[in-house]
Structure 1
Amino acid sequence: MKLPNSFGSVHKLPGNQRNPWRVRKTNGWVWDPESGICKQQYITIGYYPTQKEALQALAEYNANPYDLSASTITFEEVYAKWSEEHFKTLGASTIRGWKSAFSYCKPLYQMHMKDIRVNHLEQTIKNADVGDNTKRRMKSLFNLIYKYSMKHEIVDKNYAQLCDSVKEPEPEIIRIPFSDLEIQKLWDNIQVPFADMVLIGIYTGFRPQELSILQIDDIDLDLWTITGGLKTDAGKNRIVPIHPRIRELVQQNYDRAGKMNSNYLFNDESGQSALLNYGRYSRRFSKIMKRLNMTHKPHDTRHSFITLAKTAGVNEYILKLIVGHAVEDITEKIYTHRSIEDLHREIQKIK
């Protein structure tokens, strides 16, 4: 049957070709002054092995037209379009970084975006003779180009997300224990609001969040222990002996909470009872550090306790029980039972 006007055409190319059936549509007319006639301009939709598949492709295109340039646009051309838009708001040094990363992507330059797969991206990164930082920048560039391509319907899948040739470096968290002089400075400034809370953290090993949500029901002033903990099975509801050095501080907070009718051990200095979260604890901690001219992070108190305990020779397994670390030794874990007295004896090694 004859196809409708403006529908497009399907015809077979001469010769022995794998996909001989070409599908194309008129893309306007151009006046030829020499011949004095208008000539049709065509755009090719694709090439197919059979007439049936070619007609189906033409019908699908007419039902849902798409930008035909998307099927042939190359990685290099997408980069040019992306950079023209993206570089408008960037500084010169940042632009140089992206251009440098692009210069190592030559194997992809002439590839059609729709034909690029994960292995092409990974091999390009792997074979680039550059350091890890530049390789990470290449991967970031791939992600941005694919984001642009999906926005403009050039591709429908972000293969850059599946690319794992470059592992992101694990962020290095540096913990600095409080020195003996800094601990003494906290004692010398015990009147500073919440300095006592920092000291209790240093002498118990509780994580900041564990410390901030302690309730007065968790405190046993007869046995001088605190029951608390979060995060892991070994860390939950563990028994922590209260070091003699901080017993008075715990007692004072316990009594203050009782007078305020608060369920929580630590409360606002204004007399308000409120559950602390990590954010509020962190802000209070920062104020103390700034006032005492110290540079520590909230988790440094826990690392200080472990450092003090190891230096004092506290039994390894009892230390793990106190701080909530898993005990792997079967004999210790299953057959050895530690008493409250054992915990107190070991923690008092910290002088």
Structure 2
Amino acid sequence: MKLPNGYGSVMKMSGKRRKPYMVRVTTGWTIDPAKGTKKQTYAVIGYAETKQEGLQMLSDYHQNPFDTKAAKVTFSEVYTAWSEAKYPTISKSNVHGYSAAYNVCNSLYNKIFRDIRLADLQNVVDTCGKNYPTLRKLKVLFNQLYDYAMKNDICNKDYSEFVDIIKYKEKNPNKIDRSVFTKPEIDKLWTLRDDPFYQTVLMLIYNGCRVSEFLDLKKENVHLDEQYFDVILSKTENGIRKVPIADKVLPFYKAWYDSSDCEYLLHTDDGKQFQYRNYKDSYWTPLIENLGMDHNPHDTRHTCVSMLAEAHVDPTMIKKIVGHAGAMSLTEKVYTHLDIQSLVEAINKI
């Protein structure tokens, strides 16, 4: 079948290729000065496995023309262009969330964005092994990238809306046992000490609090000069206690104390008290996964206990610091006169 003049063509290329048919469209004409004849100029819009598929691609192009240069943009290039515009307008925690989601998309990085299909996106969801909160962020990232690509004529169909994450809502495809942070992991966290939300991870590691205790901590119960804070809300009687603040994390407490008018020491970007689910899903999980680590917030408590034990801190002192009643003798339970200075000295050993 002869195609209309200037319509384009489907050319079979030599050699063994998975997609041997090159689909090209006419972009203009040039004049041969010697012969005075016109010659078409072309732009490649894609490659097909069969000639019929190539003709269909050509027909689709003429129904919905697109920028042929933009059509060669990869997933990674779309993400880079989108993030350069998006990241300056959102909070650090959201940046961490999107970055963590992008990190699991490595199978898509070099794919031509226009050639990506639902199966490619779904495969990332099904094989990344992430928890449902992270999968939600991943789907939002897909939505954002397709919105950007559609507006910039990089593609003309949004496959992100069909990505299924609901099947993972009631289960954790990457369930892990609680474990302590390793020394290399803690060292890595210290390299990010300037980020206030990574500071919260270090603060938890060096105070041994239950996360709920720390999120409920009000400024009125924080005593920076004496280096301790009072836990007045806890799920156990032994949890009501004075918790020492280690020298190395004291600057973080001061920075958070002065960072807003919120009555709570830790707070969201807009100055509101953290709820556990909000902190874990929107802050903790993206922060930790962005570093390639697998930990839940309670692991900080285990880590603190482990480090205190390794530093040969007296077991009674450890129980007093973390508010742990397990296996406490009667003598330990009535031994309540440990002064703050000795608590600080103990926590400073780790």
Q: Which has the higher contact order (CA 8 A, sep 6+)?
A: 2
What is the TM-score with the length of structure 2 in the denominator? 0.47
Structure number with bigger Rg = 1
